[in-house]
Amino acid sequence: MRKRDESKGIFCIEGLWDPDLRVSSSVEPLLDLLNLNALLEYIRVDVATHEEFEFYIRKWTQKRYSHYPILYVASHGSESEIQIGEDAYSIEALGDLLEGKCANRFIMFSSCSTLRIAKRVLLRFLRKTGALAVCGYSVEVNWLRSTAFELLLFSQVQKNEFSGRGAEAIVRGATELAQSFKDLKFVIVSVKDLAD
């Protein structure tokens, strides 16, 4: 459990944004800004294949990376999937890979439409992984607006304990923040929703 006053690092797995490798789109400037402002540590890796993605997901769950309880998956996406290279990777397959390995961890899908799925599917993902919360977008999002939102979201999440007790405050803060970004159709579910 990461306490309220402890820094909660981000483990970012970023997919290819453009098949043209000369295009340098990345979420790294956002992470650098968070690092400068809040001394928030991060690890960021690029992936282009399912094998690379799964390799880094397994790394994230290792004890040595417990100071990075926020998984930030930044890629293209579609309904219930993220795009890894040229192939889709389902939320269900990720849930299977992370089964029982995400206690007191927070998962953010920074991808268009990935969470355009039934709440029961997200609750099943939470139950299977043991994650504290999972969040993302249910529509196609504007890059600049989603980046601004994520900067504020990650700053807000830092203020809360990563435990079942802190989940309600995380959801409340994220939901209030999302009111200023209604076009993003931000979705968040947490362990609190499992009890309802």
Instruction: Supply the pLDDT for residue 142.
Output: 93
- pLDDT (average), residues 10-19: 85
**pLDDT exceeds 80 at position 192:** yes
Dig out the tokens for 133 from the structure: 């919360």
What CA–CA distance (Å, rounded) separates 5 from 171?
A: 18
Residue 96 resides in a domain:
yes
pLDDT digits (tens, 9 = 90+) for 157-190: 998 999 888 899 999 999 999 999 999 999 999 9
Residue 25 resides in a domain:
yes
Residue 4 resides in a domain:
no
- Give the domain range for residue 151: 10-195
Instruction: Supply the pLDDT for residue 25.
Output: 74
| 101 touches 61 (CB < 8 A) | yes
Q: Is the dihedral of CA 160, 74, 52, 81 positive or negative?
A: positive
Q: What is the CATH number of the domain that holds 50?
A: 3.40.50.1460
Domain count of the fold of the chain: 1
pLDDT digits (tens, 9 = 90+) for 107-144: 999 999 999 999 999 999 999 999 999 999 999 999 99
